[in-house]
Amino acid sequence: MLSSKISRLILCGNSVKYSRPNLKNFTFAGSKTQSVDTNEFLLKKFKRFVGNTCPFIDTDIIPGSEDPSSQVFPQRPMHKALVLDRGSDSSTVVCHTNPCHFSINGNIDVLGSAGQNVEDVCRYKQGVSVIDAAEYLLKISHIAPSAPDTLCIISYFFCSNY
């Protein structure tokens, strides 16, 4: 069975699609219609998914531009309270920054990003696919070549990144 060969789940951005508070009407299983904050509804759905999945597989979560995290690059990790219910086993869940670097089983290095840097390259280089843009970033060994001009990043006042 293919699922027995999966050793790790990596969720790369926009898992929740958090936005301004937005009330929508939902009808739940034959009950009356209720107004529900879609952010709260989506966050509970995501928590349920992670809670049902993480006991069986190591899970890495990288925040995206529409997740409840900082909006500037590099993004802070999502807080585990947003990802897991109280009392859940959190030993198999790791919340990373975006971008991030981590190792799987000590022998596979992963450079992860939710894709804002790749999308930014595609936005300004016509006719380039997402895969080509990601490959280009790896070739030039630069994770965010368009920052700070078109990709919002954290400014460092006391040192130069260049």
Q: Report the phi/psi class of residue 128: left, alpha or beta, with left for phi > 0 and alpha for psi in -120 to 50.
A: beta
Residue 95 has a pLDDT of 93
- Residue 54 and residue 48 in contact, taking contact as beta carbons nearer than 8 Å: no
pLDDT value of position 21: 53
Mean pLDDT, 10 residues at a time, the chain of 162 residues: 79 76 52 59 85 87 87 88 78 91 89 90 88 92 84 68 51
Structure-token pair, residue 42:
């989506």
Are the C-beta atoms of residues 56 and 45 closer than 8 Å to each other? no
pLDDT at 3: 66
**Which helix (DSSP H) or strand (DSSP E) does residue 95 occupy?**
strand 93-95
- Those residues whose C-beta lies under 8 Å from the C-beta of residue 39, and which sit 6 or more positions away, are 16, 18, 19, 21, 22, 68
String of DSSP letters for 20-82:
S--EEEEE-TTS-EEEEEHHHHHHHHHHHHHHHHTTTSEEEEE--TTSSS-SSBSBPPPPHHH
Q: How many residues does the chain have?
A: 162
- Model confidence, pTM: 0.77
Amino acid at 141: S
pLDDT digits 0-9 by tens, 73-94: 889 999 888 888 777 777 889 9
pLDDT of residue 37: 59
pLDDT of the residue at 61 = 92
The domain segmentation of the chain, as residue ranges, is 2-99, 115-162
117: number of Cβ within 10 Å: 23
